[in-house]
Structure 1
Amino acid sequence: MTAPPRLSWRDVRDRIHDQILTGQYGPGDRLPRDADIAEDLNCARSTVQRAMQDLSDSGLVERRRKGGTRVRPDPVTRATLDIPITRREVEQRGGRYGYHLIRRSEANAPRAVLSAFELDTPRPMVRVEALHLSDSRPYILEDRWICPRTSPEIRDLDFTEQSANEWLVHNKPYTRLDLRFYAISAGEEIAGLLETPVGAALMVIERTTWIDGAPITTVKAITRPGYQIQTGS
């Protein structure tokens, strides 16, 4: 007898989606563990994880480290964005790309970085601060922390030529992405680097990625005044 084909992640996603829409799992309900769902549906745990990530990206569920997966109390629709390569972004807009490494260092991650990664204990990480340029003018100031446990190659890279942004996009796929947008007022150091007046309103794009629950990188990309995000579908 031929064994039935294993479910794809889309099949698993659709089943759980239907269970939420029909009320089997209501707002705030905790879903079974990924391993239990995989056993029940006779599929790989990675298949369930991929399905759950898609449901999380669509705003139906929320996943927390050590907290499991719950149906969101107020489901929302979220836009899904690919992480852009800044060099390509500048070139697609007709600019001449430039790059300047400000500094590269290694230290225990500060509390704000641990919080972004949802970690409880300090650990050494690589910090890369760099300036992306368009037509020789500041474009994006990048302050990035990278976890060597998930990216051990990072200790052998100096990022004087290629940006950490481009290397990570090409080499470190992720299973989870958190994205935030907010505004700050430019202090003296940032204003000097971006060649903008002190106190100018600047948009910050903060991204954090994980692979199967383990942190990869978190970055604050501080954009020049007038920066615009372009998306398409």
Structure 2
Amino acid sequence: MQAGRLSWKDVREAIHEWILSGRYGPGDKLPRDADIAVELACARSTVQRAMQDLSDSGIVERRRKGGTRVRQDPVVRATLDIPITRREIEDRGGLYDYRLIERSFGKPPRAVRIAMNLSDAPDMLRIEALHLCDGRPYIFEDRWVCTTTAPNILKVDLSRDSANEWLVRNAPYTRFEVKFFALNADQRTAELMATTPRSALLAIERTTWLDDRPITHVTAIAAPGYRLLSRS
């Protein structure tokens, strides 16, 4: 197999299988990233990305100059992927539709800059959009995109293609943060989500980065009755 053919997820699963099978037990030191890359015939950077995910998942522990070891007491964590909303709806048997509400440029508010770890920020692309399931509101997105990190989004017809799906497919990230909280719908949100003002709604706030460069920050507000499934 030629170097670079495996994805980081393939490499992650291979290393995880080594641990699950007992090849490497709790506390054991794993081979160097370079040696794993040779064994799996992939790029060293691919191994590094896989190892970082295993570390973030609490399966291994990486220390500078100390190598990587299987954790003595693995941390059990739920794994959340960034979903493509269209696919999420269709997988549930629903009919998907999408509406662009507004596309604009401007300075992101302070809360968004803090979420992106920016003390200051250039003008960014703001996208407000509504995803529908069987003709009813499903998720409303209020999204900010850093076009210096993801410039090709400026070529996308956002009246037809959702930024959610385009970014998942075309803007690879090295890390992301997600927060969940409840909010009471204001008048505008209630109208968009076909509910009553002050209804309790689930909000999902996500921020992604490519290394230290922010890609996007989105607040996704789900319709009443929305359920989130996570598997570990």
Q: Which category of TM-score, normalised to the shorter sequence, fits these structures?
A: 0.7 to 0.9
Partners of 1:136 and 1:98 in 2: how far apart?
Answer: 7
RMSD over aligned CA atoms reads 3.4
Q: Which amino acid aligns with 1:56?
A: D
Contact 2:177 2:208 in 1 (8 A): yes
Indicate how the Cα distance of structure 1 residues 78 and 138 shifts in structure 2: closer, same or farther if over 3 A, else same: same
Equivalent residue, structure 1, for 2:71 = none
| Preserved contact between residue 78 and residue 230 of structure 2 (Cα < 8 Å) | no
Corresponding position of 2:216: 217
Match of residue 101 from structure 2: 102
- Partner of residue 83, structure 1: 82
Query: Deviation of residue 49 (structure 1)?
Result: 5.3
Q: Which moved more, 1:85-94 or 1:219-228?
A: 85-94
CA distance in 2, matches of 1:107, 1:77: 41
Moved more, 211-220 or 193-202: 211-220
Aligned residues: 202
SS of residue paired to 1:88: helix
Quick one: distance in 2 between partners of 1:50 and 1:103? 37
> Where does 1:126-137 land on structure 2 (aligned, <5 Å)?
126-137=125-136
> What secondary structure sits across from 1:145 in the alignment?
strand
Report the CA distance between 1:118 and its aligned residue. 0.9
CA deviation vs aligned residue, 1:58-117 (integer Å, no higher than 9, x gap): 38889xxxxxxxxxxxx9533111211111111111111111100011112221111111
User: Residues 1-233 of structure 1 correspond to what in structure 2 (within 5 A)?
Assistant: 44=44, 47-48=47-48, 50-58=50-58, 77-232=76-231
Deviation of 1:140 (Å): 0.4
User: Among the aligned pairs, what percent are the same residue?
Assistant: 46
Judge conservation of contact 1:58–1:79 (CA < 8 Å) in 2: no
Q: Deviations over 1:151-202 (max 9, x none)?
A: 1112222310110001111111211121111100111110010011111100
Cα distance, 1:50 vs. partner? Answer: 4.6
- Runs of 4+ more than 4 Å apart: 8-11, 41-47, 59-62
Moved more, 43-52 or 213-222: 43-52
How has the CA–CA distance of structure 1 residues 53 and 119 changed in structure 2, closer, same or farther, with 3 Å as cutoff?
Answer: farther
SS in 2 for 1:205: strand
Query: Contact 1:177/1:209 (CA < 8 Å) preserved in 2?
Result: yes
User: Gaps (5+ residues) in structure 1?
Assistant: 1-7, 15-20, 23-36, 63-74
Distance 1:177 1:92, change over 3 A: same
Q: Please give the alpha-carbon distance, in whole angstroms, between the structure 1 residues aligned to 2:161 and 2:104.
A: 16
Q: Letter of the aligned partner of 1:196 in structure 2?
A: T
Give the AA of the match of 1:113.
Answer: V
Structure 1's 95 and 44: CA in aligned 2 closer, same or farther, altered over 3 A?
A: closer
Contact 2:202 2:222 in 1 (8 A): yes
Distance apart, 1:232 and its partner CA: 4.1
> Is this contact kept in 1: 2:95–2:133, CA < 8 A?
yes
Q: Counterpart of 1:191 in structure 2: which amino acid?
A: A
Give TM-score, length-normalised by structure 2.
0.73
The separation in 2 between residues aligned to 1:183 and 1:59, in whole angstroms, is 31
Residue type at the aligned position of 1:197 = T
